[in-house]
Amino acid sequence: MDTVSVKLALSEAGVAAELLVYMLGELGYEGFLEEDSLLEAFVKAELYSQSKLDELLALEDFKNVHLLTVQQHADQNWNALWEESYDDVIIGQRCRVRAPFHPVRPDIEFDLLIEPRMSFGTAHHETTHMMIELLLDSEIAEKSLLDMGCGTAVLAILGRKLGACPVVAIDNDEWAVNNAKDNILLNETKDISIVFGDASKLSLYKTDILVANINRNILLADLPVYDTVLNHGGLLFLSGFYEDDLSSITEQCFSLGLINGNVITRNKWCAAVFHKP
């Protein structure tokens, strides 16, 4: 399948490369190579839109990002190139997210093995990093956990290793579901249930803990559904939104009777925990 590669120059220090990667992902870009001040992003040819790319780069956050080249490639194995540039991530000295080609670190309590494909959730992005922080600081052993919009299933896998059971992970992207299935085998957590679908699948479940690292609009739309499947006394972990969006997320949670708990931020991104009395 033909792909298009877009090379971007991050001309000044402080440009939010991870934010750019995240928002390109919203446009369908599925692989990224970053080196020094350059970012190369890859997208299926039929999904490429010059006008949408222009609109993105016109945002204030990316005023110092410059488009250098746009190239089309015939059946380019860009995903393999992306994997080669992938670094491991360590959170709180307790959890490490790594690829199969990284050496084992026996000093790390939770060593998570994630195939670095095109799915969101490798802990490189602030939101996944923060969700891992929150889970590490929570008592979730012997509680049921549901990971909504699971991506790689990294949060579901960590939850299971922290003692949560049963664990269900749901995503509406077929590639993510397949990646998640591979990752639960790599981490010897094959009792995690991987489900293909969206929030409509939630009616089949009740859970003590629900984690959703998606985006602001989906969270606001689906929060009432999350509430219906969350058991009383349960915890709702949310991320995928900016600090500026916390008030609207909190307001929606309050309207459902949820009580706010821990809130953390990282580079303008936010993650929060809510409690259902």
Task: Please report the domains of the chain, with CATH numbers, ordered by start residue.
Answer: 3-82 (3.30.70.100), 126-275 (3.40.50.150)
Q: What angle do CA 49, 55, 61 make, to 5 degrees?
A: 130
From the CA atom positions of the chain, what is the Rg in Å?
19
CA distance 246 to 263: 9
79-114 pLDDT, tens digit per residue, is: 565 555 567 889 988 999 988 878 888 899 999 988
- Is 232 or 151 the better-scoring residue by pLDDT? 232
pLDDT band at 13, cuts 50/70/90? very low
Burial 181-214 (b: 16+ CB within 10 A, else e): ebbbeebebeebebbeeebebbeebebbbbbbbb
Residue whose C-alpha is closest to residue 170's, from 187, 193, 190? 193
170-222 pLDDT, tens digit per residue, is: 998 887 898 899 999 999 999 999 999 999 999 999 999 999 998 888 999 99
Confirm if 152 and 181 have CB atoms less than 8 A apart: no
Phi-psi domain of 171 (left: phi exceeds 0; alpha: psi -120 through 50; beta: other) = beta
pLDDT band at 21, cuts 50/70/90? confident
Question: What mean pLDDT value characterizes the chain?
Answer: 88
- Is 50 or 174 the better-scoring residue by pLDDT? 50
**Predicted pLDDT at 39:** 84
Q: Any idea which of 62-76, 101-115, 232-246 has the lowest mean pLDDT?
A: 62-76
Residue 141 has pLDDT above 50, yes or no: yes
State pTM to two decimals: 0.74
CA distance 236 to 253: 10
Q: Any idea which of 18-22, 140-144, 215-219, 260-264 has the lowest mean pLDDT?
A: 18-22
**Assigned token pair, 194:** 């991987």
Confirm if 265 and 244 have CB atoms less than 8 A apart: no
